Copies of this chain bind each other. A is one copy, B any other.
Amino acid sequence: MAKKIVHRIYELRSILREIRAAQKTIGFVPTMGYLHEGHLSLIRQAGKDCDFVVISIFVNPLQFGAGEDYAEYPRALSRDAKLAFANGCDLIFAPTVKEMYPQGFATFVEVERLSEHLCGASRPGHFRGVTTVVTKLFNLVEPDHAYFGQKDAQQAFIIKRMVADLNFDITIHILPTVRETDGLAMSSRNTYLNQKERQAAPVLYRSLCAAKEKITQGERDAASLIAYITKLIKQEPLADIDYVNIVDLENLQPCKKISGKALIAVAVRFGSTRLIDNIIVEV
């Protein structure tokens, strides 16, 4: 079947019905478009695992708060299509907002507790928007495997919880963050940065790595580590910290002492651009 972009739900369903009837396995990568190497690594992995790879490109208004960058979020469908198809994508679903949220829409999916901290605290309603749209996309695509990047770690763990709780018959894969050579996590939002901000931004990953080094040396106290990361980031005058936090990987609740697996996560503004990054540590 020729690689294709569809905008309507009925077109998507009709193609996927044939794919399933042919007993092919389906891999799915939901995206907001403006694809970078992080997305492409997910698409390539889906191609390795599955017979047919679907990606969605949809800037989901439900996961943006008032005053956030919904309107400015970069969009480039034909550029994205070339990249996706060249990396093993078979079908792109790029619906309109009206197709996804017609008049009268009233249903929301929410994962409690895991959404409380980190970006959930900074962006009220954000994860409700994410889990609602991902539920819709899962029901539309009915994939066997779905792929998410660790860069959005809280999102990925919330979706894993949702899939288990709501009994979706889908295997969730969380793939490593892809970084620029200077360590900056790839993000569609990096395009917002001016030259000085771009030069400053690697301080996020540098600070996370420095914290990891401290843990290797024996530090276990979360407050000390948070203070250490905060100090390092503040050395960069353009960086305006939203949060620095350390949470247990199981329940995404803040931990006092690091034991088992923990997520160290930061959100920092450079000008009006909010960037996030994280690492997982295990002791």
Contacts and interface: CB of A to CB of B under 8 A. Distances in A.
B135 A9 contact: no
Interface string A154-172: 0000000110011111000
A83 B245 CA distance: 56
B104 A111 contact: no
A107 B131 contact: yes
Given A136-B167, A166-B139, A108 B104 contact: no
Q: When A and B form their complex, which 9 residue pairs have the shortest distance between CB atoms, in order from nearest? A: A107-B165, A139-B167, A106-B112, A136-B167, A107-B162, A107-B111, A140-B167, A106-B113, A108-B110
Nearest to A100: B167
Contacts of A162: 107
Interface residues of A, number: 28
Contacts of A13: 169
Contact of A111 (B106, B135, B140): B106
A139 B132 CA distance: 15
A105 to B, nearest CB: 5
Copies in the complex: 2
B110 A9 contact: no
B114 A166 contact: no
A50 interface: no
A251 interface: yes
Interface string A169-197: 10000000000000000000000000000
A166 B111 contact: no
A109 interface: yes
Contacts of A166: 107, 109, 132, 135-136, 139
B106 A161 contact: yes
Nearest to A12: B167
Contacts of A106: 111-114, 161, 165
Nearest to A108: B110
Given A107-B111, A107-B162, A139-B167, 8 more contacts: A107-B109, A108-B110, A108-B112, A109-B135, A132-B166, A135-B166, A139-B168, A142-B169
Interface string A133-151: 0011001101000000000
